[in-house]
Amino acid sequence: MTNPVVHIANLTLQYAGQSILSALDWRVQRGEHWVIGGKSGSGKSSLAKAILGQEKYTGNIQLSFDPNSTLPPLAHYVSSWYRFTNLEGDRNFYYQQRYNKHQGNDTLTVYADLMHFGQKRGLQMQDAEPILEALGFENCRNTQLIELSSGEHKKLQLVQALWLKPQLLIIDEPYTGLDKNSRAQLNAILTQIANQGTTLILITNDNNIPSIMNRFAEIIDGAVREVDSTADFTKDQVRVQKTLPYFLQQAPTVDADTMLELKDVIVRYGEKVVLNKVSWTVKKGEKWLLQGHNGSGKSTLLSLLNGDHPQAYASDIWLFGNKRGSGESIWEIKEKIGIISPELHWYFDTNATVWHAVASGFYDSIGWFLDVKYEEKKQLEQLLDFFDLLPDKNKLLHTLPLGKQRLALLARTIIKNPQLLILDEPCQGLDAAQTAHFNAVVDDLSAHGKTLIYVGHYETQLPNSLSHRLVLEKGEVILSESLLESIAYN
């Protein structure tokens, strides 16, 4: 019998002073392709990083590669976040920098990053072209890394991994930020490379996985427990719906019946047109679903509304009854908007505690703010209790499981009861129970006069209160409608 591809014995790992994996034993045999799922924070990512030598641990991990395979004898890990640097090897970016073309030149382009990756591993660029095309990423070659959305960052990671075709490939949250078509294309390519000899380990709770996946497991009490299918993964208990804090039951005071209006808005970088004559009106109390494939212009559109994009001043944009650039400050705009996005999460201050992270929503900062007022402290405690985050309030945000990090930032979004909520893929990183819980909160908020813009790819993970839909394609509006029937977006 051949040696297992992965042989783990007595693996113990601690993180932030807590035991994550305890005396864990696990084998991955050739021909097996595993899905690791289960509860957020159970240790799935820690296990993957330990296999790749990226986490300190005690115990034994042995990898055995097939010397007769034509695939490189390598293990490759695609993390849930893409940690890129600037040209000097620094990660000291700020959120608005991704929309400033001149400062964006501080990072590599997608093509340059791929060239660097390929040269280090002896790969030929022409072999990456079919993958770029299949994932709908071929038009991003000249885009700066800092300008990419979260879904586009995931595609870049996937292109690298699928191009490399290692004998062992571990992908953490493979479908994060991907549109429906990209998810299907990814599954097809994963099946192809698995048939060529790559052993797959996917860390996900998604049910839409390649049919070649044949083993399933979760981590319970620090040990691997095998199950029969993704349907058998342990789920969090259904949360008892708490009463929305009183301050959020009040309809916000609004400045105008028309919350925002865009008239033939164009955004371009040189010859590249990102938004092309986009017109859109959102009335007070409407709940809009914003959709579009990766790279369609959604993130750029939202950055115009939130005041983060410098080209907003050159466009015909009205916010809360005032024309953009008519004298209002960026902070006067932000105080009326609550926003969460994967990009804001990525740039968030790593030194912020959960308490500081949520409280910063009062001041629209990325973790730092002036002393909060007495009434604000009361609201903060109520909201932390509402999201079951009180036990974690003094912990550093980045040490929490990804799901709890997202809940904390979601709490930050609504803490000031803003006139307009912009929720950009708010449930990325949340499990099914957390997603259902938050969308129920969104529906509850919607019942109290909130105006909402909600970005979501997954049709089964949307609030029930959505009333309208706008769909972008290649920077243009291809659909604007009232939602009278069930949503069916392809």
Predicted pLDDT at 253: 85
- Separation of alpha carbons 301 and 262, rounded Å: 10
Confidence class for position 89, pLDDT limits 50, 70, 90: very low
Whether the pLDDT of residue 61 is over 80: the answer is yes
Integer CA distances (angstroms), 296 to 83, 273, 292, 485, in order: 23, 11, 6, 24
HEC secondary structure over the chain = CCCCCEEEEEEEEEECCEEEEEEEEEEECCCCCEEEECCCCCCHHHHHHHHCCCCCCEEEEEECCCCCCCCCCCEEEECCCCCCCCCCCCCCCCHHHHHCHHHHCCCCEHHHHHHHHHHHHCCCHHHCHHHHHHCCCHHHCCCEHHHCCHHHHHHHHHHHHHHHCCCEEEEECCCCCCCHHHHHHHHHHHHHHHHCCCEEEEECCCCCCCCCCCEEEEEECCEEEEECCHHHCCCCCCCCCCCCCHHHCCCCCCCCCEEEEEEEEEEEECCEEEEEEEEEEEECCCEEEEEECCCCCHHHHHHHHCCCCHHHHHCCEEECCEECCCCCCHHHHHCCEEEECHHHHHHCCCCCEHHHHHHHHHCCCCCCCCCCCHHHHHHHHHHHHHCCCHHHCCCEHHHCCHHHHHHHHHHHHHCCCCCEEEEECCCCCCCHHHHHHHHHHHHHHHCCCCEEEEECCCHHHCCCCCCEEEEEECCEEEEEEECCCCCCCC
- Range with the largest mean pLDDT of 84-88, 273-277, 283-287, 322-326: 283-287
In the chain, % helix, strand, coil (3-state, to 5) comes to 35, 25, 40
| Helical H segments across 129-243, by residue range | 129-134, 150-164, 180-195
- Separation of alpha carbons 372 and 364, rounded Å: 13
How confident is the model over 230-250, as pLDDT tens digits?
A: 989 987 666 677 888 999 998
Predicted pLDDT at 39: 84
Predicted pLDDT at 90: 44
Predicted pLDDT at 82: 67
Contact 71, 275 (CB under 8 A): no
Domains of the chain (ranges plus CATH)?
A: 6-232 (3.40.50.300), 246-482 (3.40.50.300)
Work out the burial of residue 443: count CB atoms within 10 Å of its CB; fewer than 13 is exposed, 13-18 middle, 19 or more buried: middle
Predicted pLDDT at 311: 64
Confidence class for position 85, pLDDT limits 50, 70, 90: low
How confident is the model over 361-406, as pLDDT tens digits?
A: 888 766 555 578 888 899 999 999 998 899 999 999 888 877 788 8
> Residue with structure tokens 């049709």?
459
Predicted pLDDT at 33: 98
Give the relative orientation of helices 432-446 and 402-414 as an angle to the nearest 10 degrees: 10
Q: Are strands 468-473 and 451-455 parallel, antiparallel or unpaired?
A: unpaired
Predicted pLDDT at 94: 40
Residue 295's identity, in one-letter code, is G
Average pLDDT, the chain: 86
Predicted pLDDT at 88: 43
What is the pTM (predicted TM-score) of this model?
0.84
The pair phi, psi for residue 262, each rounded to 5°, is -115, 135
- Separation of alpha carbons 221 and 18, rounded Å: 12
Q: DSSP 3-state assignment of 309?
A: coil
How confident is the model over 94-147, as pLDDT tens digits?
A: 444 444 444 445 678 899 999 999 999 999 999 999 999 999 998 888 888 877
Instruction: Name the percent of the chain lying above pLDDT 90.
Output: 50
- For 366, the token pair is 């990325």
Better pLDDT: 429 or 144: 144
Contact 455, 424 (CB under 8 A): yes
Mean pLDDT is lowest, of 26-35, 48-57, 254-263, 459-468, for 459-468
- Kind and range of the H or E run holding 476: strand 476-482
What letter does residue 373 receive in the DSSP assignment?
P
Mean pLDDT of 207-222: 95
Predicted pLDDT at 299: 85
